[in-house]
Structure 1
């Protein structure tokens, strides 16, 4: 019994420390692919915000209040998978006490917000604030179970289709323009 309790405490400590130190976590809900999301560890859970204008997209992940999610945490220095854990999702009610506490922390870490002065009001109107709390095997909140063995394969997924590309064929006139620039 004490060995099980000791392991649960170690798992919880690993989950908390790894998640606190990582700037991104990979979250997979009940639908769609895993997605990298920025977050903050607040009061025993990973808190994140999204689905508003200019915020990270959450709608296609199937993250619903009371539902499950799988969180994979990367190592901050090496970028590799460090730990994965099961979570129970809670959606915080706008303007509630828990919502305010989470938003006060999150807005301090939100980089490049176009409306830093009124961000809290916009988040209350347009966004969802989610809490991902470590859950036991039955989905109930608990110390959480850390999974650190991921198998021998890379488990890499192909990139999602997107219209954003970084490489296109060079325009036909480019070599001529480059030669002209050297003469001057």
Structure 2
């Protein structure tokens, strides 16, 4: 019993302090901003102007990985029971009030909650059971191929130009 209470406290404290969590449902993990409210992480998204959510359906589970706010490394990983909140329900209203306070740079701050009710999904990610082991490896995705590059050979004239500047400074 004590281990479960400590696990829940660790999940809550780590998730509250992290501004970003990684959530994996049916598909790749996605970084999501969230709020911790009444024993669960809550996220909003899947609509224009908001974060894309991973494929999550009510009644399923998701894997949540919490990162350190200061160092960015993985702190803890836990399994969450997923449920979608019904727009304008009592639970939805209390969560959206919290989410609205953390939403940065909203283009429509006055009508944001109505837009969320019409177009977005608000999900509750409630810790289930206990802490899971952290995934192995970096989990970094390979960058997409692109013709853009930042590495080029040093121009042939550059060493002479830099040397000429140093000579001028030395003569002064």
TM-score by length of 2: 0.81
Gaps of 5+ in 2: 153-172
Shift of 1:160: 6.2
Gaps of 5+ in 1: 137-144, 171-184
Distance in 2 of aligned mates of 1:159 and 1:64: 27
Work out the number of aligned pairs and report it.
154
Distance in 2 of aligned mates of 1:125 and 1:34: 26
Q: Which residue of 1 aligns with 2:119?
A: 126
From the superposition, tell whether residues 162 and 7 of structure 1 become closer, same or farther in structure 2 (CA, over 3 Å).
Answer: farther
Shift of 1:105: 0.6
From the superposition, tell whether residues 162 and 100 of structure 1 become closer, same or farther in structure 2 (CA, over 3 Å).
Answer: farther
* Aligned 1:69-88 pairs, distance under 5 A: 69-88=62-81
1:156 aligns with 2:139: yes
Distance in 2 of aligned mates of 1:10 and 1:154: 27
Shift of 1:116: 0.3
Q: Which residue of 2 aligns with 1:57?
A: 52
- String of CA shifts for 1:34-85, please: whole Å, max 9, x gaps: 0100000000000000011110011xx2200111100000011111100000
Q: Which residue of 1 aligns with 2:40?
A: 45
Distance in 1 of aligned mates of 2:101 and 2:124: 17
TM-score by length of 1: 0.76
Distance in 2 of aligned mates of 1:89 and 1:37: 15
Q: Which residue of 2 aligns with 1:93?
A: 86
Name the SS for the 1:132 alignment partner: strand
Q: 2:11 aligns with which of 12, 15, 19?
A: 15
Distance in 2 of aligned mates of 1:26 and 1:113: 22
From the superposition, tell whether residues 13 and 52 of structure 1 become closer, same or farther in structure 2 (CA, over 3 Å).
Answer: same
When Rg is computed on C-alpha atoms for both structures, the one with the higher figure is 2
